[in-house]
Amino acid sequence: MTRQAVSKHLAILEEANLVATVKRGREKLHYLNPVPIAEIANRWIRKFERHRVDAFVDLKKQLESE
């Protein structure tokens, strides 16, 4: 990747609040912002997790009723 392409990607990530930046003189340091990344992951995983939990509840009810 070219330096310009990397800079453009980092600017987009920074705008989306996925990357935090700190300027030190001529340097610009980039750090991942874990909070929005964790929120996105939780929202995405929760969709699939709900079905699994429901399946366990159904299995528990079936086993207890027998």
Does this model's pTM top 0.85? My answer is no
Mean pLDDT, consecutive 10-residue segments, the chain of 66 residues? 94 94 94 89 82 85 85
Contact 30, 19 (CB under 8 A): yes
Residues 19 and 47 in one domain: no
Which pLDDT score, from 0 to 100, does residue 29 have? 94
Residue-range definition of the domain harbouring residue 52: 34-66
Whether residue 22 sits in one domain with residue 46: no
Return the pLDDT at 40.
84
- Taking CA atoms, 57 is separated from 19, 27, 34, 39, 44, in Å, by 39, 54, 32, 26, 21
Burial of 20 (0-12, 13-18, 19+ CB in 10 A): middle
Query: What is the Cα–Cα distance from 24 to 30, expressed in whole angstroms?
Result: 11
Provide the domain count of the chain. 2
